[in-house]
Amino acid sequence: MLTLSDIAAQLGGDVLGERQTAIRRVATLASAGAGDIAFLANRKYRGQLQTTGAAAVILAPAFADEFAGPRIVTANPYAYYARVASLLNPVRAGFAGVHPSAVVGSPLPASAAIGPQVTIGSGVALGENVVIHAGCTIGDGVSIGDGSILYPRVTIYHGCRIGKRAILHSGAVIGADGFGFAPEGREWIKIPQIGGVVIGDDVEIGANTTVDRGALDDTVIGDGCKIDNLVQVAHNCNIGAYSVLAGCTGIAGSVTLGEHCIVGGAGMISGHVTLAPGTTISGGSLVMKNITQPGLYTSVFPIDSHDEWVRNAAHIRRLSHLAERVSELEKKLKEISAND
C-alpha cells in the first residue's frame, strides 16, 4: 500500500487534496472503491468523475477541477496510471535460486532465478536478476541482459542476444531458422541461416510469437519495441526502436521498420519493404511497397453483406478497364473542344 505522497515522490505529478490518502490498487472510475486510485484518460468518461467511489483520481490539468477529492494531476494520465499499476503490482518470480531439475551448462550469477526443467546451454551469459520460468530452453552462446524475465516454455536458439529488462511470454521462440530455400528443379535446397537475433533493451514479446534468425546478418528488434501474441517476424528484419506490432501481424523477410512504427492486428508486410519512421498501418492491411512518408495507411476492404461485397468486388476487377475507357473519352472530349 502506498500514499499519494509516496506515489508522487517516485513518479512526479502534482498532488491536490489529502497527500496521505492510502492507495492499495488501481481501478476504473466505474468500479473503484475505498483505497482505489482511478484515472481519466478518455474525456467521454468525465461524467463518471461525479459518481466514482475512488479514493483518488489521476487527471490531466484540463480536468483537475472536475473532481473534488484527492487527485494527482499529470500531463499523461494513462501513462501515469500504468506506472502506478507497476508500483502496486511488482513482478515477483515466486522462486529463487536454481531449481534442482534445471540442466545448467554455464556459470550463473547468484541473483538468477531458474525454474524447474529449464535447460541452459554452454557459453550462456546472464545478467543480474534474470528470471527464467519453468521449461525454458536457452541455447549455447545466448546472452540475456539484467532484469529480463522469460515466462514458461520460451525457447531461445543459439547465439541470440537479449537486452536488459526484456519480457518474453510463454511459447515465444527467438532465433528459429528463417524460411530460406533455393529452388533447384522440383526440389527446394535449404539455405543455412547463420545470422542471429539481436533484441534491444526494454522489449516485450508476446506469447507464441516467433522472431527468426537472419540468413546472413542478424534480425534486429530495437530498444523499447512491444510485440503482441502470435506475431511472425521473419529473417533479416530490422524493427526500429519503440515500434509496436499488434497480434497476428506477419512480417516477411528483410523488412525494415523505422523508429516508432505501429502495425495494427493482422497487418501483413511483404518482403524487402521499408516503412518510414512514424508510420502507422491499420489492422488487417497489406503493405506491398515502400512507405516513404510517415502517416496512417489503410488497405482494408470494409465489411459488408456477402451479396453487396461480391458486387463491389466485381466492380473492382473492372477498374482498370473503366479507367482506360475514361481516358479514351477524355481524349475525345479534348479533340471535340479543340475543333469547336
Annotation says 235 is catalytic = yes
- Decide: 132 and 112 in contact? Cβ < 8 Å: yes
- Decide: 114 and 108 in contact? Cβ < 8 Å: yes
SS3 232: strand
Residue of 133, 169, 235, 260 with catalytic role: 235
DSSP H/E element including 84: helix 77-88
**282: burial class by Cβ within 10 Å (0-12, 13-18, 19+)?**
middle
Residue 197 pairs with which residues in a beta bridge? Answer: 219
Name residue, grid cell 526443467. 117
CA 118 to CA 188: how far, in whole Å?
Answer: 35
What lies within 8 Å, CB to CB, of 220 at 6+ separation is 197, 198, 200, 237, 238, 239
- How many other CB atoms are there within 10 angstroms of residue 182's CB atom? 9
Cell of 206: 508476446
Active site positions, annotated = 235
